Structure 1
Amino acid sequence: MKPEFRAFHEQLQRFIPSERLITDPLRTLAYGTDASFYRLIPQIVVRIESEDEVSHLIGLAHEHAISLTFRASGTSLSGQAITDSVLVQLGDGWTDYHIGDNAHTIRLQPGIIGAQANRYLAPFQRKIGPDPASINAARIGGIAANNASGMCCGTAQNSYRTLHSMRMVLPNGAVLDTGDANSVARFREQHPALLDSLAALAELTRANPELRQRIEHKYRLKNTTGYALNALIDFTDPIDILQHLMIGSEGTLGFIASITYNTVPDHPHKASALIFFDSVRTTCEAVARLKPTPVDAVELMDRAGLRSVEDKPGMPGFIRELPNDAAALLVETRAVSAEALQNQIDAIEAVLAPLDISHPYAFSTDPEACARYWAIRKGLFPAVGAVRDTGTTVIIEDVAFPVERLADAVTDLHRLFARWDYPEALIFGHALEGNLHFVFTQSFESDDALRRYEGLMDDVAELVVNRYDGSLKAEHGTGRNMAPYVELEWGPEGYRLMQQIKQLLDPAGILNPGVILNDDPQVHLKNLKPMPAAHPLVDKCIECGFCEPVCPSRDLTLTPRQRIVAWREISALERSGQDPDRLQQLQRDYAYQGDATCAACGLCSTNCPVGINTGDLTRQIRHDRNISRTPMANWLAEHYGGVMHTSRLLLGAADRTHQLLGTARMRRLTGGVRTLSGNRVQQWTPAMPTASPRVKIDATPAPTPAGQVVYLPSCASRTMGPMRGSVETASLADTTVQLLHKAGFEVILPLRLESLCCGMPFQSKGMFEAADLKRQELMKQLLDASDGGRIPIYSDTSPCSLRLQEGLPASLQVFDSIDFLDRFVLTRLDITPVEEPIALHVTCSSQRQGLDTALKRIASACSRDVVVPEQITCCGFAGDKGFSTPELNANALRSLKAQVRHCNGGYSTSRTCEIGLSHHSGIEYRSLVYLLNRCSRPKPEEEIAHVTP
């Protein structure tokens, strides 16, 4: 830490706990990284939990003349969320919301993810207006501070246009809630000079015809370049001006503590069509024709973009034959009813009828077909990232042109790509607003590469501003990326006005300096992020941060993006041999921050645009570190039956001790032993399972009408019985057999069951040889038991099912319990749902198998009130990490108890996950099989709709 920050850091500790003040080299590097291609490493990262902490922090920053940069999710692309000073992150205390006025308004704190806000509004068929591509990861604070828009919201439904009111903390420490009349009155009384100055600026702007006309023109387009000068001509009340200036200000004018949006309709009936044209000009003519029709989105994809995805599964073959000037439009329309939707489709098709379309098209209302269309569009950006050379970065630029000149603009952009040698560059965008994104790969490792990038950006600025009078940043924000070009776009008067706004609200310049306004004409070419090789498993990472919301170690240690950032740095230092002290410290810190607290669940891969599973990197690191333990792992694999027998004995002994001592004394005893051992002894909790009896092989009846099924109980199911005091006394295996019998199945168990394992316990620790040995052994037994694959196999534990699916021979039919129950068992049962609410946990492995919907369907058949807690993704138990690293499990489930305490039990599909869920929720979690068995009876044969596995 630099000397000038030490006193500041000491005083911070007076009102912020030390665990929320981060200064170590590993985490300042990792937390300081955002989705842009710039890199600054903060001196201090501060996690704030309340508005009072924000006010104190700003006051202390003024006192020490130290700048602050606020960060939400760090998905921003233009360098507006990085700093080499103090980075301020949002903690858990910023996720409150309130739905008002029959869901026509919603108040949101800045820590809420955009997609979560829409889930709150979904029951009312409403949503927030902004819909950025990053909505599943971006938080409301960043969405508002960047005036993010997206595919459907255009200029009419962005944060600026749908703002109802705002609560903010200004650089002078003042708090203003524009939705509270008393707060507004106090602010008017206490800050008249500020409001008078804003009103004077607005009056001068409105009185300047040339400047006013320029502002009006600029905001007919999407525009996030500079400050929202339209606030000065759209409003006369300085309170309104102030709150609208905060939109798109990128944290340079104040802190948004909450925002209330006017919501917009989310029509339930939707249809999409993918329409191909032989030329860009015809495509853009179609856009102009579609503008007045009832369309909600019109997405353009140029030929290079189509070429990047033409070999993807499900793509029509004719795309490969399209001419070089071809392009496509993805069109979506939405309506309140099916009849209205069809009328809109007819109107759209009528305006397109005179145009030459290269291939017949049709609008689809099938959600799966529409999802495939949108997957094509959303796959364009990652398609470039996935094929780029290691060491290069992916850059996505964001401009807007008048729609009537769109065809010429696309052609001119293609010429610039050829001039500056960017053959891989592709164009896509929100054509209805003239908003185009262009994506290309860039290396910053040589002066020639940097000059090429500088030349391209200078030419793009000249093209957009001087030839087309467009906007250089339509929706991604100015940041450092476009700061040198703000004056070019707005002219001296507009730029001077922005400087006055910044000086008026932040005269000391402590909030995010250098962003939006910057006197350095080369700032966009400095502090460029290195992207060194780390490992082939993760080298395609573009550091977008989309993975972060689903990671169980987020806010405890590192997220997948942050692990990759750190490992890139470690790998680069290892190769260079430079700064050995820094390398040693990073390696030491990574052992806990990156490795020990990684659940390696792979849930990150489901959100990653390029499909990276950071858990694979973690397992590889563990493999390389523990290579000397391979013989021991292989010995355990070869004697697995004995290991299971020993585990059962230990569980039985622990349970008897628990019975003898009682919960309180057992917790004190085991906690003391764990402390004395330096946490080497695993943690005990009251939710620990009892020992399960052996699964009986000879308990299967004669063949029944439903046929046969091979039942594979996992290691956990075979050894772990219900927790002490459980309402269920039977083992999961016995209950599963009972349920399958009830549904009419003959149950077959594999031979040598005690010694069988899918290899997951070894795989998670990087013991790949032992893991593969166990899986191959299991596959052989399953082939025998299933008569060469003829009989389906039922796997009762979702993580094991996923492990089997990843190496499954084509001849075997392995079904996770969720899939089998949903497809073949429910139809054979009469179910009487329980009336009480139940909690449901969808494991990470269920999500990765795409079984979350099926699991919810089963649960909903069993209960009329199913609670799926918010923001609970992977539970973090991760096999045995709930015992060895219990803080990971505690962190992942820290918000669970408050959401499920009213439920009469919880249900899931992984025995180990259920231990941690029970411990941290205050209710017992168990397999959903128990509930389904309890509330069902066999359906009469004549009523069964036969579905054969």
Structure 2
Amino acid sequence: MKTYRDIYKWGDKRETKIDQGTINVIKEKFGFTDSELQQTHLLGNQIVKLDKTCQISQNIIDQFIKIVGEENLKTDDFSRANHSYGKYYRDLLKLRKEEIPTPPDAVIYPKSDEDIEKILEICNKNQISVTPIGGQSSVTRGVETPLGGISLDLTKHLNKVLELNEINSTVTVQSGMYGPAFEEYLNQRSFSCGHFPQSFEYSTVGGWVAAKGAGQASTGYGKIEDMVLSLKAITPNGTIHTKTYPASAQGWDLHPVFIGSEGTLGVITEITMKIRNYRPNNTKYASFIFKDFKFAVDAMRTVMQSGIGVPHLFRISDPEETEIAFKTKNFDHTFADKFLNTLGYKSGHRCLMFVAVEGNKSYTNQVISSIKKITKRFGSFSLGASPTKKWLEQRYSSAYLRDPLMDLGIMTDTLETAVMWDNLIPLWTNVRKYLKSREKTVAMVHISHVYENGANLYFTFLSPMKKGDELNDYDEYHKGIIETIITNNGSLSHHHGVGRTLAPWMEKELGKENLKLMQAIKNQLDPKGIMNPGNTLGIKP
């Protein structure tokens, strides 16, 4: 029998042990004793049992079965519970508390676009909510089903590459294809998708598009909206299938309307996107340490504005993230640590920078050489290629640490924003000030998606839960972070999306008229409001 823990655990559901370096940090920062490190909190080990039964009539269920087959429709408790939440911290808390008040009434796995058209027709006629589902890695409450209805899971059947055009360097792929399978297909043909979010192993191409995501190489290749050339979306009011051009002037571009739509307009079923040559042997790596965050930021901005070309991976860890990285890797108090301190790269101030450049050999050599010259002007000390390579090795596996940290009763979450260069340091300073106003809080910040005009700031915070009042405590703290970001000229999101989590701030961020325009598009494509309803993106219903 399956438990709530089987639902909320990340990825392949492995049980992960916390490494000794991280345990040492927990003891130092939070004051945990050896005894407390043996205690566990809210494990969610009970067998899944839902209070709410399927509310869709048997007549309509039979109509769905006629379309997809009995094997592709599930109404059992575990299937429904397993499609109730994404991977937002609050979602995980509720699963640990064994709370699923609004599961979907049914989970359907369509076999084709035609299936989806028929399903939407039935749902539209009978006012049944529809939530498109991919890898369920949303951290914004984007896949919840507050009104029940159906979860339309595209991963079982709609998961194939439909066409690879080597002349145009494009690929057409179904939206339910997972990142690793997609990249493997392309690598075997000497191409790469160029899009590698931390959720890459357990997210889908359609999810990347629907959430308007970004990957670790976005500084070089762009976010997902920079990669998509055309798409197909099935809406309650008809199918939108845009044509593929490198660019056009034919009135409004329509495919961008669906990028970042988070399932509110229809079901994205196909995407045609750019692909890149796969030349891993040409990649050049570099790592640097700076004396403080401002020096590192100024060096990064200069690289982006200098016209030398751009790196693909470009990342800075702020002083606290750098400190935690050094502590967990047992770098503290080593000879190398003492040497860096002697040179003026002081603990608590210094910052790491990771760089990787992809492309042909002449390009990678030229860009990495230019970056080394620029960073040196800002007082960097070169650490060679190894730190960047080691960071990449743990890029995806680090996500597994969240579950055992929560097992110990440690709040572990992230928020991110986009900001112009002239506002970056003030925003970083003030959000960190708010984060650190909570007793016993680790607040790590990095920049990982970089532009000529600004960058993304990504905040990771850890703090002991307020046991017995975990949800309210988190909500209050989380709200303060968002308010501080907005007050300091940051966007609501850079790449996680909005979902229901950030929806209450959408009118303040966008303005009434902009939100009314989004609502008008929603009303045209989904007049009865059945697509991912419940305040997703701040639009009705």
Q: Find the counterpart in structure 2 of residue 116 from structure 1.
A: 181
Aligned to 1:675: none
Shift of 1:50: 1.1
Gaps of 5+ in 1: 182-233, 524-949
SS in 1 for 2:108: strand
Report what 2:72 is aligned to: 20
Q: Paired residue for 1:159?
A: 224
Cα displacement (A) at 1:304: 2.9
Alignment equivalent of 1:264, drawn from 263, 276, 282: 276
Correspondence for 1:303: 319
Pick the aligned partner of 2:293 from 265, 269, 280.
280
Matches of 1:14 and 1:432 in 2, distance apart?
49
After superposition, the Cα gap between the structure-2 partners of 1:409 and 1:453, relative to the gap in structure 1 and judged at 3 Å, is same
Q: Does 1:489 align with 2:509?
A: yes
Distance 1:61 1:384, change over 3 A: closer
Partner of 2:374: 351
Aligned to 1:150: 215
Match of 1:136 among 177, 201, 211: 201
Q: Distance in 1 between matches of 2:149 and 2:420?
A: 39
Residue 460 (str. 1) matches residue 512 (str. 2) = no
The match for 1:373 among 375, 386, 391 is 391
Q: Are 1:396 and 2:414 an aligned pair? A: yes
Match of 1:55 among 117, 135, 154: 117
- Matched-pair contact (CA < 8 Å) for 2:409–2:467: no
Q: Distance in 2 between matches of 1:362 and 1:413?
A: 32
Please, what TM-score do these two structures have when normalized by structure 1? 0.45
- 1:271 and 1:112 map into 2 onto residues whose CA distance is 30
Query: Does the CA contact (< 8 Å) of 1:252 and 1:515 recur in 2?
Result: no
Where 2:283 maps in the other structure, the secondary structure is: strand
Q: 1:267 to 1:149 in 2, by over 3 A?
A: same
- When residues 169 and 108 of structure 1 are mapped into structure 2, their CA distance, relative to the original with a 3 A threshold, is same
* Aligned residues of 1:443 and 1:449 also touching (Cα < 8 A): no
Equivalent position amino acid for 1:325 in 2 = H
Residue in 2 aligned with 1:413? 431
Of 128, 134, 141 in structure 2, the residue corresponding to residue 72 of structure 1 is 134
Is the 8 Å Cα contact of residues 299 and 330 (structure 1) preserved in structure 2?
Answer: yes
3-state DSSP class of the match of 2:352?
A: strand
**One-letter amino acid of the counterpart of residue 384, structure 2:** A
Aligned to 2:35: none
Q: CA deviation at 1:360?
A: 3.8
| Aligned mate of 1:437, from 458, 477, 483 | 458
Question: Which residue of the partner structure matches residue 333 of structure 1?
Answer: 357
Deviation at 1:31, TM superposition (A): 3.5
Give the structure with the higher percent helix.
1
Find out whether 1:362 has 2:375 as its counterpart: no
Deviation at 1:351, TM superposition (A): 0.8
- Give the superposition deviation at 1:415: 0.1
The 5-angstrom pairing of residues 312-323 of structure 1 reads 312=328, 317=334, 318=336, 322-323=346-347
Secondary structure of 2:384 counterpart: coil
Distance 2:187 2:202 in 1: 18
What SS class does the counterpart of residue 335 from structure 1 fall into?
coil
**Equivalent AA in structure 2 for residue 117 of structure 1:** F
Change (3 A) 1:245 1:447: farther
Distance 1:122 1:376, change over 3 A: closer
Pick from 62, 76, 79 the counterpart of residue 10 of structure 1.
62
Q: Distance in 2 between matches of 1:4 and 1:516?
A: 23
CA distance in 2 between counterparts of 1:251 and 1:361 reads 44
Q: CA deviation at 1:447?
A: 8.2
CA distance in structure 2 between the aligned counterparts of 1:54 and 1:384, rounded to whole angstroms? 35
> Shift of residue 460 of structure 1?
3.0
The aligned amino acid for 2:445 is I
* Deviation (angstroms), 1:137: 2.0
- Secondary structure, in 3 states, of the residue corresponding to 2:414? strand
- Residues in 2 aligned to 1:481 and 1:347: alpha-carbon distance in whole angstroms: 41
**Larger deviation: 81-90 or 58-67?**
81-90
Letter of the 1:249 counterpart: S
Closer, same or farther in 2 for the Cα pair 1:376/1:130, shift >3 Å? closer
Paired position in structure 2 for 1:915:
none
Change in CA separation of 1:375 and 1:423 when aligned onto 2, cut-off 3 Å:
farther
The aligned amino acid for 1:425 is A
Partners of 2:279 and 2:155 in 1: CA distance: 34
Partner residue in 2 for 1:508: 528
For residues 278 and 312 of structure 1, the distance between their equivalents in structure 2, rounded to whole angstroms, comes to 20
Q: Which residue of 2 aligns with 1:668?
A: none
SS of 2:201's partner is: coil
Higher relative contact order (CA 8 A, sep 6+): 2
The answer to whether the 8 A contact 1:278-1:323 is kept is no
Offset of 1:306 from its aligned partner? 2.9
CA contact (8 A) 2:507 2:538 kept: no
C-alpha contact (below 8 Å) 2:287/2:388 kept by paired residues: no
Change (3 A) 1:443 1:7: farther
Which residue of the partner structure matches residue 254 of structure 2?
A: 242
Q: Please list the CA deviations of residues 770-792 of structure 1 after superposition, one character each: whole Å capped at 9, or x if unmatched.
A: xxxxxxxxxxxxxxxxxxxxxxx
- Pair 122,48 (structure 1): closer, same or farther in 2 beyond 3 Å: same
Larger fraction in strand:
2
Mapped pair 1:175 → 2:196: no
Q: Give the CA deviation at 1:258.
A: 0.8
User: Paired residue for 1:191?
Assistant: none
Instruction: Give structure 2 stretches of 5+ with no counterpart.
Output: 1-52, 92-99
Deviations 1:754-805 (CA, angstroms, capped at 9, x unpaired) = xxxxxxxxxxxxxxxxxxxxxxxxxxxxxxxxxxxxxxxxxxxxxxxxxxxx
Q: Secondary structure at the match of 1:361?
A: strand
Structure 1 residue 284, shift from structure 2 partner: 1.3
Q: Is the partner of 2:445 in helix, strand or coil? A: strand
The one-letter amino acid of 1:511's match is: M
Aligned length: 460
Alpha-carbon spacing, 1:311–1:375, altered in 2? closer, same or farther (3 Å): farther
Deviation at 1:312, TM superposition (A): 4.6
Quote the residue 2:41 is aligned against: none
Q: Deviations over 1:115-144 (max 9, x none)?
A: 332333225543224321222221111111
Query: How far apart, CA to CA, are the structure 2 residues paired with 1:278 and 1:381?
Result: 29
CA contact (8 A) 2:466 2:473 kept: no
Residue 416 (structure 1) shift? 0.8
Counterparts of 1:379 and 1:408, CA distance in 2: 32
**Deviation string for 1:507-548 (max 9, x for gaps)?**
11100012533479xx9xxxxxxxxxxxxxxxxxxxxxxxxx
TM-score scaled by length of structure 2:
0.77
Q: CA RMSD in A?
A: 3.1
Post-superposition Cα deviations, 1:50-96, rounded to whole Å, max 9, x if no partner, equal: 11111111011112111000101111211112213311112532133
Change (3 A) 1:392 1:67: farther
Secondary structure, counterpart of 2:383 in structure 1: coil
For residue 393 of structure 1, report the CA deviation from its aligned partner.
5.0
**Distance across 2 between alignment mates of 1:25 and 1:251:** 24
Tell me, yes or no, if the aligned pair for 1:308 and 1:383 is still in contact at 8 Å. Answer: no
Report the 3-state secondary structure (helix = DSSP H, G, I; strand = E; otherwise coil) of the residue aligned with 2:218: coil
CA deviation after TM superposition for structure 1 residue 454, in Å: 3.7
Q: Structure 1 pair 48/384, CA: closer, same or farther in 2 (3 Å)? A: closer
Residue type of the partner of 1:516?
A: T
**What is the percentage of aligned positions where both structures have the same residue?**
20
Q: Distance in 1 between matches of 2:244 and 2:298?
A: 47
Once the two structures are superposed, residues 675-730 of structure 1 have per-residue CA deviations (whole angstroms, 9 ceiling, x without a partner) of xxxxxxxxxxxxxxxxxxxxxxxxxxxxxxxxxxxxxxxxxxxxxxxxxxxxxxxx
Q: Matched residue of 2:537: which SS?
A: coil
Structure 2 equivalent of residue 786 of structure 1: none
Shift of 1:328: 1.3
The C-alpha deviation readout for 1:260-287, integer Å capped at 9, x for no partner, is: 1122344441122222223222221122
Q: Partners of 2:241 and 2:55 in 1: how far apart?
A: 37
Q: Secondary structure at the match of 2:416?
A: strand
